[in-house]
Amino acid sequence: MLTGPAPAKINLALVVGPGRGDGKHELLTLFQRVDLGDRLWVEPAASTSVEGFPADTIIGAALAALPAPHGWRVRLEKHIPVAAGLGGGSSDAATALRLANAQLASPLSAAQLHAIAARLGADVPFFLADGPQLGSGDGSVLEPVEIPQDFVVLIVLPEGASKQSTASVYEAFDARRGAAGFEGRAAGLRTALRGVHRARDLAALPVNDLASSPLAHELRAHGAFRADVSGAGPVVYGLFQNRTDARRAEAAIRARGRCWITVPAWYG
């Protein structure tokens, strides 16, 4: 049996373009792993089962894609809020792949695991990579980036918020012709990234194309040097220079939803 963490992610930037022929959208996003996460235990078994989260489908699908003559027993300790924009399911799937692959007689290569992960979901491959990554294409084409990691993250899940389906979020984006100027906006993100030398420089990154929240404005008013929605939401994050500032902001807005204070994480 092997065990490992399945950390959450936030999108420090998300620029979205036109639809692709495969039903997805072209995009450019900056993935950042954080030290809030689930934990998995994986071991070979006669058949595959996932304990601790009955609603799982993606872990089972991930493990079924491995060339094993047996099933897997998975125990999942869930901490990442579900359907919040933090990539919990994708991280669980990637961690299950990594832990199970390490127990194969002939483990798959990193490229083979990436291919499986990309079929499961556009952000699953990110959780197999170390450090911040710039995702392009549908998000599964990754480039490592060097950005400061000396900041504190306050994550807020707004009270009563429910995640819209990804399809409906993208339909709304298309309806407002949000893809206009994608190439220029993507170039703007890359340019802004080149100017990031200190944590506070992350404030210059463009805002999320898919979703917005008044909570982001509140977090900035309470000292965040950057605040935005993660992915398609509904989670909102704020970046702070230190824990003292993050705790002060949490005290000011904790009535608005569930809060977590965390920090960047380099790998799972």
Q: Which of 123, 209, 228, 245 is catalytic?
A: 123
- The alpha-helical segments, DSSP class H, found in the chain are 58-64, 88-101, 110-120, 166-175, 182-194, 214-221, 243-253
Asked whether 41 and 74 are in contact (CB, 8 A), the reply is yes
In angstroms, the CA 178 to CA 233 distance is: 17
Q: What percent of the chain has pLDDT over 70?
A: 99
**Helix (H, G, I), strand (E, B), or coil: what is residue 196?**
coil
Q: What is the pLDDT of residue 90?
A: 97
Asked whether 264 and 32 are in contact (CB, 8 A), the reply is yes
Q: What percent of the chain has pLDDT over 90?
A: 88
Using the predicted structure, report yes or no on whether residue 12 has a pLDDT greater than 80: yes
Average pLDDT over residues 4-32: 95
Q: How many CB atoms lie within 10 A of CB 63?
A: 22
Whether 150 is catalytic: no
Q: What is the pLDDT of residue 223?
A: 98
Query: Among positive and negative, which fits the CA dihedral 40, 74, 162, 233?
Result: positive
With both helix axes pointing from N to C terminus, report the angle between 214-221 and 243-253 in degrees, rounded to the nearest 10: 130
pTM score: 0.95
- Residue 153 pLDDT level (bands cut at 50, 70, 90): very high
Compute CA 244 distance to the chain's CA centroid, rounded to the nearest angstrom.
25
Asked whether 12 and 232 are in contact (CB, 8 A), the reply is no
Give me the domains of the chain, ranges plus CATH numbers. 2-144 (3.30.230.10), 152-262 (3.30.70.890)
Q: What is the pLDDT of residues 115-128, one digit of tens each?
A: 999 999 999 999 99
Using the predicted structure, report yes or no on whether residue 267 has a pLDDT greater than 90: no
Whether 163 is catalytic: no
Any idea what DSSP says for residue 46? S
In order of 33, 70, 237, 257, the CA distances from 99 in angstroms are 18, 15, 29, 34
